[in-house]
Structure 1
C-alpha cells in the first residue's frame, strides 16, 4: 500500500497537557481521509504538527515513504502539503490577492506582479466556482468568503496533499455541495485530502476512510462504506448520541424583539437590509434561513449595536434600542452569540476567565467602586467552565486562543446564557462543534425558550434550522420573504425560497 503521508506514534504536549498521545494516521494516495473527534480531541493539533506549526515530542512523519522533519510551514509547502485552517490565517487589512500570494509573491526586477497574480487568482476562482473578488479586503468580506480565500491560497500554491480543517463550518448547504465537488475534482487530479470535520453526513458522503480520535488518543481507522453515522458518533464521544432534538410545542407570549422596516448598509454604503420586518416572542425560537450574504450579518449587527441603522426601528420589550451603544443594548437584556467568535466574541490574549466576564466585569459582584473582585470573577468563570464542559489546559487562566474552536464557542454560549437575557441571538451557534456538543447546545437553546426567553437563531445548516426552530423566517436580498412552520416545510421548499423563488417556483 502506498501512503503519501504517515504520522507514526505522534505525541504532542503543551505544558504537561497531552494533546496527542501516540497517534498514528496513514493517508493513501488519491483518497479523502476524514479525521473525526470531539472538540479538543487533538485533531487540529495533529494537523498543525503535520503542517510544521508544532513540533512533536515523539513520533515520526513520512512523506511518500521518506522520513521528514517538518519544522515550519514553508517546508510543508515544499513537500506539497497545504492546509486550510479552521481559524483563518489571513491579514485583515490586506486584499484577497495580497493574502493569497503572501510568502510566494511573483516578482520581476524586485517588483511584485500584483496585477498578474490577481488575474491568476480570478481564473482559479472561476475554475473552482469560488466566486472571490481578488481586490476585496479581508476585513470587508464575510466569514464564508474568507474561508474560500483560504482554500484558494492552498490551490494557488499547487499542493498535492491538502488538509481541510473544518472547511464547511461557515458555508451554506449550496456552498458545501460545491466544495464537495471541488474536493472530488482535486482527487480526480491525483491529489490526496485529509478532512477534519464534525459533520457525519459529509464524512459519509465524501470520505474513503475515517480515523477517530478521542481525548488525544487514536481510537482506530474504519472504512467509511462499512460504518454508519451512529457508529461514528459513538466512537467519537464514547456514548450513544441523539440526532433529533426533543422538544415540546412552543407557547409564544409577548413580543420581545420588534424589528420594523429597517434599512442597513454594508461597508460599501450599499443597502444590505432593505425594509426588513421581524418579530420574536417570548417562549419561541425563530430561525432565519438564508444563503450567506443576504443581509444576515448586517441584521444581527444592527440589533446588537455593532452597525448603524439607516432607517426603521428596533425595540426590545417595547423599548426602542435603535442605534444605541452595544453596552446599552446588552443591558437591555440582549445576549449575543456572534457568528465570528474571534472578531466579536473573545479577546484572544485574555484568559478564558476574563473573557467570561467581558460584559459584566463592571457590575457587582465582579466589581465594586471600580475595583475588580477577582475571587468573584474566578468563581463565575469556573462555574461556567464546568457547566458548559469547556475543556481547558489550565482552567480559568488558560488564554482564550489556546482553546480549540469548539471550546471557545462553548465558553461564549455559557457566558451569554448565564446572563439570562430576554432575547438570545444565536448566530451560527454550533459552527465547528462536534455532534455531542451540538446536542448539548440545542438543548440549552430550547431550555431558554422553555424559560420564556425569545431566541433568534441564524444558521446556514438547514437541518439545524428545521430541527430547533418553532418558526422559520426566510431571508432573501435583505428582506424576510416568507415565514414557515418547520413541520409543514422541507429542505427543497426552503432552498427555493432562499434562492429567491416563490413557493410556486417563480423568481421573487
Structure 2
C-alpha cells in the first residue's frame, strides 16, 4: 500500500524534555487520518515537524515514497502540504482575498495583480461551498469564517495533503457540521487529510483511521469504524473514562448572585447586545447560560465580571451591590472567573506558572510583606496546585505559560480560580479545546464546587456539556433570556430550537 506521508521514528526534544519519542505515523492517499491524544501528547509538535516549523533530532519523512527534508513551511507547501493551525495565522487588517494570496501574489511590473487570484478564490469558494466575502476584513468576520479563509489558503496553493490542527475547538455546532461536509468533499476529490482532534464523536463521523499518541509516544493505529469511543479514549489516556457524569441531588440554597435588568450596549453598533436580562444563581446549583455564539453571552459575562461597563441594571453578590466595583473588588468579594479567552483574559503568557498562579492573590499577606513578594511562598503554592490539579509542563512551576499545551494552560486558570474558595464561579467555555480526560476532570471540579454549596454560572456552547453538567438552563437569544429550563425535562433537540430562536417558553416573561 502506497503511503502519501510516512514519518518514521521521529524524535523531537526541547532541552531535556522529549516531546516526541520514536513516533511513526503513516497516511494513505484519500483518507481522513485522525491524530488523537491528550493535551500535550505531542500531536501539534508532530505536525509542526511535518510542516517544517520544527526539525526533528531523529527520524525521516517520506512523501509519496521519497525521503525529503522539510526545513520550513515553504518546503512543505512545495511538497503540497498545507496546514490550518489551531490559532489561525491571519492578518487582521487585511481583506479575506489579501490573506489568501499572501506569499503567493501575482506581480506584474511591480504592481499587485488580483484579478486572476480573485477568480480562482471565488471558484474554489463556490466549488467547496465555503461562501466567503473576498472584500471583508479579517477583523470583522466570525471565527468560523476565518477558518474557511485558512482552508482556502491551502486550496489556493493546490495543496493535496491537508493538516487540520484542532479545527473544531472554536466553532459552533452548526459550523462543525459544515466543516465535516467540507472535509468529506475534499477527500472525495482525492486529497488526504490529517485531522488532529480529541473529540471522539467527530473522529467517528469523519475519519477512516486513527493514530493515538500518549505522552509523546506512539500507542497504535486503529480502524475508526470498528473501534468504539471507549476503546479510543482508553488508548488516549491510559485508563477508562466515564462518559456519564455522576451527580448527587443537591437542593439549591439562597441566592448568591443576582442580575437585575442588565442592559449592555455594543461597542461597535448602537444596539443593545444584552437586553434587560435578569436571573438568580443560587448556592449548590450549576446554572447554565446556553445559546449559539454571538447572542450576548460574552458581553453578559464581561458585564458581570467587570470587563465591560454596563448601561443599565444591577449586579448583586451576597446581598452587596457590586455593579460599579472594580474587577479586584469583585474578586475579593468572592467571584471567580474562568474566562472564555484564556490567552486574552486568563493568563499573562510570558509569565511563568507560579506568577500566573497568584495573579489575583499576590497582594495577600501570605504572598507579600510590605510590598515585597515572598517568592518561597509563591513557589510552594504553585507546587501545591501542580500536584492537586495534575498540571503538566516541561519545567514545573518555572515553565513559561506560553509554551504549555492548551489543556494545561486551562488547568492553571481552573486551579487558581477554584483554590481561592469563591462564592460564585463564572465558568465560560471551561472545556473548549480540551480532551476527554481533561474535560471529565474539569466537570468533576465544577460539580465539587456545587456540592460544596457554591454557585456556579456556566456559559457553554457545547450542548452535551449543557445537558450533562447543569442543574438549570437559561437560554439567551439575541441578547434576551428566552427560556428557563430543567435539563431533565427537555431533549437536546428542544434546547436547540430555543437556542435558534424558533421557540420561546411561555413563562420566560417572568424573571428567570
Report the TM-score, using the length of structure 1 for normalisation.
0.93
For residue 225 of structure 2, give the secondary structure of its aligned residue in structure 1.
helix
Alpha-carbon distance between aligned partners in 2 of 1:107 and 1:388, rounded to the nearest angstrom: 54
Question: Is the alpha carbon distance of 1:242 and 1:360 closer, same or farther for their aligned partners in structure 2, counting shifts above 3 Å?
Answer: same
Q: In the alignment, what sits opposite 1:431? A: 432
Structure 2: stretches of 5+ with no match in the other structure: none
C-alpha contact 1:82 1:162 (8 A) present in aligned 2:
yes
Question: Is the alpha carbon distance of 1:385 and 1:99 closer, same or farther for their aligned partners in structure 2, counting shifts above 3 Å?
Answer: farther
Q: In the alignment, what sits opposite 1:223? A: 223
C-alpha contact 2:482 2:504 (8 A) present in aligned 1:
no
C-alpha contact 1:51 1:70 (8 A) present in aligned 2:
yes
Q: In the alignment, what sits opposite 1:305? A: 306
Aligned-residue RMSD, C-alpha: 2.4
The Cα of 1:287 is off from its aligned counterpart by 1.3
The Cα of 1:356 is off from its aligned counterpart by 1.3
The Cα of 1:120 is off from its aligned counterpart by 6.5
C-alpha contact 1:170 1:460 (8 A) present in aligned 2:
no
Partner deviation per Cα, 1:349-371 (whole Å, 9 max, x = no partner) = 11121111112222221222211
Question: Is the alpha carbon distance of 1:465 and 1:152 closer, same or farther for their aligned partners in structure 2, counting shifts above 3 Å?
Answer: farther
Q: In the alignment, what sits opposite 2:202? A: 202
Question: Is the alpha carbon distance of 1:240 and 1:365 closer, same or farther for their aligned partners in structure 2, counting shifts above 3 Å?
Answer: same
Question: Is the alpha carbon distance of 1:96 and 1:240 closer, same or farther for their aligned partners in structure 2, counting shifts above 3 Å?
Answer: same
C-alpha contact 2:257 2:316 (8 A) present in aligned 1:
yes
Question: Is the alpha carbon distance of 1:356 and 1:10 closer, same or farther for their aligned partners in structure 2, counting shifts above 3 Å?
Answer: same
C-alpha contact 1:10 1:22 (8 A) present in aligned 2:
yes
Partner deviation per Cα, 1:172-214 (whole Å, 9 max, x = no partner) = 2222111111111111121111111111111111110010111
Q: Tell me the matched-pair count.
A: 506
Q: In the alignment, what sits opposite 2:161? A: 161
Question: Is the alpha carbon distance of 1:276 and 1:246 closer, same or farther for their aligned partners in structure 2, counting shifts above 3 Å?
Answer: same
The Cα of 1:392 is off from its aligned counterpart by 0.5
For residue 464 of structure 2, give the secondary structure of its aligned residue in structure 1.
helix
The Cα of 1:95 is off from its aligned counterpart by 5.0
Q: In the alignment, what sits opposite 1:397? A: 398
Alpha-carbon distance between aligned partners in 2 of 1:135 and 1:426, rounded to the nearest angstrom: 36
C-alpha contact 1:30 1:190 (8 A) present in aligned 2:
yes
1:181 paired with 2:181, answer: yes
The Cα of 1:133 is off from its aligned counterpart by 5.4
Partner deviation per Cα, 1:360-388 (whole Å, 9 max, x = no partner) = 22222122221111111111111111111
C-alpha contact 2:172 2:292 (8 A) present in aligned 1:
yes
Q: In the alignment, what sits opposite 2:82? A: 82
C-alpha contact 2:484 2:505 (8 A) present in aligned 1:
no
Question: Is the alpha carbon distance of 1:49 and 1:502 closer, same or farther for their aligned partners in structure 2, counting shifts above 3 Å?
Answer: same
Question: Is the alpha carbon distance of 1:449 and 1:143 closer, same or farther for their aligned partners in structure 2, counting shifts above 3 Å?
Answer: farther
Alpha-carbon distance between aligned partners in 2 of 1:116 and 1:278, rounded to the nearest angstrom: 54
Q: In the alignment, what sits opposite 1:416? A: 417
Q: In the alignment, what sits opposite 2:378? A: 377
Alpha-carbon distance between aligned partners in 1 of 2:385 and 2:139, rounded to the nearest angstrom: 31
Partner deviation per Cα, 1:278-299 (whole Å, 9 max, x = no partner) = 2211111011221111111111
Alpha-carbon distance between aligned partners in 2 of 1:395 and 1:95, rounded to the nearest angstrom: 41
The Cα of 1:446 is off from its aligned counterpart by 0.2
Q: In the alignment, what sits opposite 1:14? A: 14
Report the TM-score, using the length of structure 2 for normalisation.
0.93
Q: How does 1:84-99 map to 2 (within 5 A)?
A: 84-92=84-92, 94-99=94-99
Structure 1: stretches of 5+ with no match in the other structure: none
Alpha-carbon distance between aligned partners in 2 of 1:446 and 1:49, rounded to the nearest angstrom: 39
